[in-house]
Structure formats: structure tokens, C-alpha cells
Amino acid sequence: MNVLVTGAAGFIGSHLSEALLRNSHRVIGVDNFNDFYSPALKRQNLEEIKKTAEKAGAFFQCYSGDICDADMLESLLAEHKIDVVVHLAAMAGVRPSIQNPALYERVNGLGTVILLEACRKAGIKNFIFGSSSSVYGLNTKVPFAESDPVCLPFSPYAATKRAGELTCHVYHRLYSMNIACLRFFTVYGPRQRPDLAIRKFTDLIYRGKPIPIYGDGSFKRDFTYVDDIIDGVMKSVDWCLEKTDVPKYDIFNLGESATTTVSELIELIERTSGRKAKKEFLPLEPGDVPVTFADISKSKKILGYNPQTPISRGIRRFIEWFEKSLVPTLDKTR
């Protein structure tokens, strides 16, 4: 099977590419290697994917390009006979989206439309869209279920992800595409972006610098280990490819279905690393929501999704990776 992965050199995209290659699929990647965080880290991810491809004896090729470039996408899809597209490329992050909403609208909104249109022209019928738990916004009912209203996003990022889900529905209805929209809940693990909480907090603890805590540390997140997310994505690909009489469209939560407060998270990192955190309490930031919590009963029933990594185990695996991969670098910069 030939799979196009957008954002292939990123955190989730690199792990997904490797999982596909291990299962003997051909992977064609696209990434623009932008400077939202260090492009060098994405290049490192790419080298890891290439090693996996070589070990698995599977085909991998990654193109450097912008998903808003229709000509590039159409040329790429004409060159490769793609069976399914997994669309993970996006401008990520709630707080940065408030600072630069137009960029988020261009990449996440327009980019998704251009990619879907390129798929339509190429006759590609299977599409996975990487959405976000952010679409639930200020929803007060927990845990969050896919059937809950999602009409109150609390950031431009959340609004672009909900718009992407709706655009996917349009292409499903108009062009008989099989589409799964996956709402990811606070993904963490090896290769995590430097700006995300677990890696950021761990880095600051090891550097002996204070951790910024917005509010009193009581906000809760449904932290989900990357391996569980990848399992869910792989199962959604299988779901899309299942033969049915009518085209399919659905939305699935992919989370651990458990919550951890920011304070509990810091304590867990402290216990696991054997180091003490310095804390700096700051005012709440616009766009932050008090809780994310996934109801995964639908994903379990339809996809067979079943996360296996509680946060205590996931943090231990993350710290092991961090100490092996990044601590030597930290030591050199002190």
C-alpha cells in the first residue's frame, strides 16, 4: 500500500511513517521543514525514518514542500499511486495561533482544502485528517464525546481544526471519499516538540531553570503516549480501506481517557528523573482550557482502539529517551 503522510518529519508524522514502513507499506512524505521549531530536529527525525525504511526493506521518500502549493501536490500525486493520505501537516499550538491567526488559517485551512482538492483530482478516495481535542473548546461536559457540540472553539488553532473536519465532510459528501477525522489528545513521547509541556518541563528541570505554570497547576490534560496514537491512526487507515457499499465519514477521539493535572505531571517528572523542579506561577494565558478528557468508547467499538500506556509508564519511557538523546547535548551547552 502507498501512503502519503503530510508533516512526515514532525513528531507524530515521523512515528507514523516508521510504523507504516515496519508493516511493509510504501511511504511518501511531505514536510516544509519550517522554523516553528528547529528544522534540524525534523532532519534528525527524517534520518531515523530512513534507518527504519532500510531495516524494513521498505520504500520511503520525503519531499520538501508546502501543502499550500497545489502544483507540487498534484505533481507528487501524479508520480505516486497513493492509496491513502494521512494529513498531519499543520501549524500547531493554541498560544501561537492567537499571535498569528492568519498564518494558521492559511496553513491549516487553505492547506487542507488544497490537499483535498489534489486528492479529488487524483482520484484518491481514502483520507485521514489529524484534528485536535482543542475543537471541544470550553465544553463543560466531561469526558468529551464526538457527539458533543463543538461550536465554541477558544483559539484560532481550534477553529482551524474544526473547519478542517467540516471541509473533510464536504469532500466526503460531494466526492464519495472515505474520511476519518482523528481528535488527538495531548500527545507526548520521544521526539516531542520542544514547546510542548512534557518536553519543555523536563528540559527546564534538567537545566535547573524554573518551569512556567499558568494558573495554579490545577488544569487537567488527557496525556496520550505517541505509540497509542499511532496505533489509533493505523486502525483508522484500516477502517477507511474496509470495503463498504457506501463511502464513510466519521470522527474519532484518540486519547488515554485519563486526566493528570499540571502539578501532578511535574511531580511525576520529578520522581522519575530524580530531580527537583523550580516553579514559577504566572497568570492564565488566553486560549487555555481547564480540562481535556477523551471519551474513547466509540473509537474502541468501531476502530478497536485500546491505549496501553498509562502516564506513569509513558513518562518513564520519555525520560529514558530524553536522557539518552538530549542530556549529552544539554551538558555541552552548560
Cα-flanking dihedrals φ and ψ of residue 89, to 5°? -65, 130
Catalytic residues: 157
Rounded distance between C-alpha atoms, residue 86 and residue 131, angstroms:
11
Rounded distance between C-alpha atoms, residue 288 and residue 183, angstroms:
17
Rounded distance between C-alpha atoms, residue 162 and residue 156, angstroms:
10
Grid cell in block for residue 67? 501543502
Rg (CA), the chain: 19
Q: What is the residue whose three cell numbers read 470550553?
A: 138
Sequential DSSP letters for 109-126 = IIHHHHHHHHHHHHT--E
Using DSSP's 3-state secondary structure scheme, residue 313 falls into helix
Rounded distance between C-alpha atoms, residue 38 and residue 190, angstroms:
16
Rounded distance between C-alpha atoms, residue 26 and residue 212, angstroms:
42
Please, which residues have CB within 8 angstroms of residue 265's CB and are 6 or more apart in sequence? 197, 198, 201, 221, 223, 311
